[in-house]
Structure formats: C-alpha cells, structure tokens
A and B are shown apart, each in its own frame.
Chain A
Amino acid sequence: GENVEQHPSTLSVQEGDSAVIKCTYSDSASNYFPWYKQELGKRPQLIIDIRSNVGEKKDQRIAVTLNKTAKHFSLHITETQPEDSAVYFCAASSIRDSWGKLQFGAGTQVVVTP
C-alpha cells in the first residue's frame, strides 16, 4: 500500500521567512496530494492540494510542487506569519483505492517566531 514520508518533523522559522515541507510517496498510482493544517483536537483543514496532472499550484502565500518522476511533493509557505504556526500534514490518495482514502505523512510542527 501507499507509504507517505514527511520531513522535517519540526520547523522553526523567523517571521517573514519561507518554510518548506517535503513529502515522498511510494505508490506510482497516487494522483491526489492534499496538504492540511491541524490545530490540536480539531479536524484537519485543507490548505492546498494538487493532482498528478499538474506540476505546481499556488494560492497567495502557499504553493505546492509535485515531481511525479521522483514521487515527491512539497509545501512552500512564503512570508510566514505567527498564525502560520501549526502542525501540517501531507497526504496522498491512490487511484487504486476508494476516492477519499488518504494516507498521511507524519506531520511537521511549524513554529513561526516574531
């Protein structure tokens, strides 16, 4: 089955700097890659996603890149702000599985210091 690895586990950045989180996946049939932000004890919040027919997607300060050949995708947050501090998860969904079934990465605790 799908295996998703995420790095780093923690990331400290100065306010205004950029943050990058990287994930790799194992199943070449994976075609949907969402990124979630989660506060403790709450549901994951989708912040951006990308499908396998696209190499890059951007939404204001957030961007995601996908390299299908290397089976990795990355989250980029520019001009970080204190409110960006949270745990971020990448995930992958394979066409071999029911739509909506996600395998999550281990998560990255992002701390933005003023």
Chain B
Amino acid sequence: GAVVSQHPSRVICKSGTSVKIECRSLDFQATTMFWYRQFPKQSLMLMATSNEGSKATYEQGVEKDKFLINHASLTLSTLTVTSAHPEDSSFYICSAPGPTENTIYFGEGSWLTVV
C-alpha cells in the first residue's frame, strides 16, 4: 500500500547548525504534504503545508525563515531547521494525502535533538 517515508528517524545536531528532514511518498504522488511538530507529552501541531512547485503555507506563529520547506518534486518534501537551538528539539512528522480521498499517510517521524 501507499507509504510515506521520513528520514532520518533520529538526528542530533549542534546548536547553530542546520538540519534537513526528508519526507517521501513512495508509490504515489503528493502535490501537498504537511509538517507537524510534537513536543513530549503534547499534541501534533501543524507547522506548514508543503505545496509542490510553490511556496509553503505556514501556520500562524511558525517562522518561515527558520523552518524552510521545499517541495521540488511530487514525491519529496524537505524541512530544514536552520540555526537550530535546543528549544527546537522535538518530534517532527510529515503526512500526505493518499491516492484515494479517504486516506492520509504519516511518515515515521524524526526525533531532533539540538545540543
């Protein structure tokens, strides 16, 4: 069945550096993907809508210059956390609507730790 794959599953980076997380739709095309952030014991908070071939749409309060989203192909969206700080440490997870109207697929999620 349709699968959304996310990479890396875990990443540790130094404060001030940037880290990229990839979200791929493996056997279907996704013109739209969504990025969420989840802090421990909290809910999934929608960060942005990734649109293939155009700019991402960010939710209120999410810094677009800090969380760069690129959706250059129909199967890949990337989230780059720039100038990462310890408070950016979180679980980041992407999703994509599947090929049928009734499905939404989530990636495995990526644990980011900024030290």
A residues at B contact (CB < 8 Å) = 1, 34, 41-44, 46, 49, 89, 98-107
Contact = CB atoms under 8 A, between A and B. Distances in A.
A89 B109 contact: no
Q: SS class of chain A's interface: helix, strand, loop or mixed?
A: loop
Contacts of A41: 91, 109, 111
Contacts of B42: 106-107
Nearest to A93: B104
Contacts, number: 51
Interface of B: 32, 34, 36, 42-46, 49, 60, 91, 93, 95-97, 101-102, 104, 106-109, 111
A105 B97 contact: no
Contact of B32 (A42, A43, A98, A105): A98
A43 B97 CA distance: 15
A100 B97 contact: yes
A43 B49 contact: no
When A and B form their complex, which 7 residue pairs have the shortest distance between CB atoms, in order from nearest?
A100-B97, A43-B106, A104-B44, A104-B43, A100-B104, A106-B43, A107-B43
